[in-house]
Every structure is written in C-alpha cells, then in structure tokens.
C-alpha cells in the first residue's frame, strides 16, 4: 500500500483553520489524506467577537479558552494540529501604533520560520496551504504567516539551511487561500436577492476596492458536502464566531448550490500540473509518494 498523501495548512490564530479551507481539509481527511494544521500563535490578543461569550472570566483566561476551542475544532475536522509557540501580535486600531514587544509579527524571519521548518521536515507534507503575501487581509500575523510559509517551502528541503531541525524534506506545491473573492460574494448576494432573503453583502461589495485582483484562482476544490463540518468547526470557536453573525447569514444549502468550492491560487509547484485544477494534489497522485518519518 502506498503512503498517504499529506497536507499542511499554516494559520495565524486558532479559528483561522475553520474559516479558511476547513471544508477542503474535511474532504481530504475523508479521502484518507493526512492533514496537519500548524497554528502560529495562541490568539492571546484576540477580541471576543461573540457577544454571548463576552464575560470577564473568559476574557481573563482567553489563551486557554482558545486552546480548548482549537481542540474541539480539530476533532470536528479530523485533523492533527500543533501550535508553533508564538504570541499573538494583535491588530492595532491605528497603523502608527507599535506592535507589542516579542510578538509573532516582530520576530526575525529565521526565528519565526524555524518551528515551521521543523514541522515540515517531521510531517513531510506534499502540499502546503497558507495566505497570500497580503495575509488575506493585512493583519500583521497573517502577513508573517505567509512569509514563514514561503520560507519553509523553499528552505525545508535544503540541507544547508536550518541545520539541526530534522532531515530535509521538499514540499511539492504551495497554495494561497482565495476564499474571500469578490466573485464569490457577488454570486451569493445575487442568489439571496433573487430569493428575497435580503442580502447583507451589498454594501460590502460596493465598498470593494476597485483594482485588479492580485492573484488568480487556479484551483477550485469541490467540497460542498463538507460545509456542515466546516460550520461545526467554526462554531467550536465560540469566542470568535457569533452563531447569529456574518458566517451564517447565507443559508448553507444556498452556498452549496451557488458556490460549492473552496478556491486557491497555486503559488509554487515542483510538479507538472494543468490549470485550472480541481485537486490540490493534481500532478502528485501519479508520483511515487514517500512515507512520513516514523
């Protein structure tokens, strides 16, 4: 029997794995793919975004609460997960406000990337998922997550870089999440409006910056049947996700009908593949798959 395919998703905070690519991961887990989520920070500086959870005892213990939420989401998705050990940088209200000393976003690149390089060499993923170079949105931790993901993709296979962090391993493909595209929200807005549901997306779309999209969608993974798993994983992050809020305004059945995929940009590939793709492992499945280190 050939070794299983392996997928690594690199995220900034607990809950990011459930809002970006969760249904994709659930689908691949169901197909027998080994999936590992690497969470860069503990989300220690995250705000409580669900008013039902905004209580003093939770705020005072937010780091532990978010770890517990991450564990519940991990179980729902069926993935493995590890924290890389950095401290949440927070999101300054004012761009001129300095970031907290010692936070993830202020680490030197080689310091920030080292735990991820070690994880890549241990887990030996064939594919890595991360954010684009704008972080998906300009949170300093998301931008740093992109930087260390690119660094690990390029360095983990080089025996001369990051010595002492395990046997070299070269991932084959690197993808950026593209789930928050204007096209997707326009399609959902149109469908909700046509059904008289009252779309919340109109003002948001109107404010969308009028500029060419930086990264094209190259890969659409069909995973509509796993949207229910995604939603349960989201709800596990109870401090961050309001069950009556943005994530659940559009009925799941309508999402499955109108936009049944999660979307990605292929940023790096060391295997031949034909675009557009419908599989993150396109070009890899036919290759000899090496086992993970024991």
In tens, the pLDDT along 145-161 reads 999 999 999 999 999 99
Output phi, psi for 248, to 5 deg: -120, 15
Q: What percent of the chain has pLDDT over 90?
A: 82
pLDDT class of 201 with cuts at 50, 70, 90: confident
Q: Is the pLDDT of residue 210 over 70?
A: no
Q: What is the DSSP string of 235-282?
A: HH-TTT--TTSGGGSS-HHHHHHH--EEEEEEEEESS---SSBS-TTT
Query: Which has the closest alpha carbon to 11: 100, 129, 115?
Result: 129
Sequence-ordered alpha helix ranges (H) in the chain: 16-19, 22-30, 56-59, 62-77, 109-123, 140-155, 182-194, 202-206, 227-236, 252-258
Q: So what CATH class is 6-180+216-253+260-269?
A: alpha beta
53-101 pLDDT per residue, tens: 999 999 999 999 999 999 999 999 999 999 999 999 998 877 778 999 9
Q: 59-71 in b/e burial notation, b at 16+ Cβ within 10 A?
A: eeebbebbeebbe
User: What is the chain's Cα-based Rg?
Assistant: 19
Q: What is the mean pLDDT of the chain?
A: 93
**Residue-wise DSSP of 32-56:** T-EEEEEEEE--TT-----GGG--H
Given a cut of 90, whether residue 259 has pLDDT beyond it is yes
Domain extents in the chain? 6-180+216-253+260-269
Total number of residues shown for the chain: 294
Residue 42 has pLDDT above 60, yes or no: yes
Which positions make up the binding site for Zn(2+)? 13, 16, 142
Please report the pLDDT score of residue 97 as a whole number.
Answer: 84
Among the ranges 179-193, 203-217, 235-249, 254-268, which has the highest mean pLDDT value?
Answer: 254-268
pLDDT at 1: 37
Average pLDDT on 114-123 reads: 98
Please give the pLDDT value at position 178: 96
Report the binding-site residues. Answer: 13, 16, 142
Which pLDDT tens digit goes with each residue over 267-278?
999 999 999 999
Q: How confident is the model at residue 114 (pLDDT cuts 50, 70, 90)?
A: very high
Which of 8, 235, 240 is closest to 125 using CA atoms?
8
């Amino acid at each position: 029997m050939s070794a299983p395919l392996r997928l690594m998703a690199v995220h900034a905070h607990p809950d990011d794995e459930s809002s970006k690519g969760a249904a994709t991961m659930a689908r691949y887990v169901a197909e027998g793919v080994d999936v590992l989520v690497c969470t860069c920070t503990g989300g220690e500086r995250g705000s409580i975004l669900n008013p039902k959870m905004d209580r003093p005892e939770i705020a005072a213990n937010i780091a532990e609460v978010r770890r517990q939420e991450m564990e519940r989401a991990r179980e729902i998705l069926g993935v493995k997960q590890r924290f890389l050990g950095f401290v949440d940088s927070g999101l300054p209200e004012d761009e001129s406000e300095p970031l907290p000393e010692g936070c993830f976003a202020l680490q030197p690149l080689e310091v920030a990337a080292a735990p991820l390089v070690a994880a890549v060499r241990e887990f030996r993923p064939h594919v890595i998922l991360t954010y684009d170079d704008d972080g998906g949105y300009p949170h300093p931790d998301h931008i740093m997550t992109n930087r260390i993901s690119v660094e690990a993709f390029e360095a983990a296979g080089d025996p001369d870089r990051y010595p002492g962090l395990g046997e070299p391993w070269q991932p084959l493909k690197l993808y950026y999440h593209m789930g928050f595209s204007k096209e997707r929200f326009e399609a959902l807005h149109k469908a909700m409006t046509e059904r008289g549901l009252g779309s919340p997306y109109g003002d948001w779309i109107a404010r969308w910056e009028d500029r060419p999209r930086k990264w094209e969608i190259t890969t659409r993974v069909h995973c509509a049947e796993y949207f229910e798993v995604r939603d349960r994983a989201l709800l596990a992050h109870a401090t961050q996700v309001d069950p009556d809020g943005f994530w659940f305004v559009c009925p799941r059945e309508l999402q499955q009908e109108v936009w049944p995929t999660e979307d990605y940009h292929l940023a790096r590939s060391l295997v031949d593949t034909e675009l557009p793709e419908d599989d993150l492992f396109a070009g890899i499945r036919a290759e000899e798959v090496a086992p993970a280190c024991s």
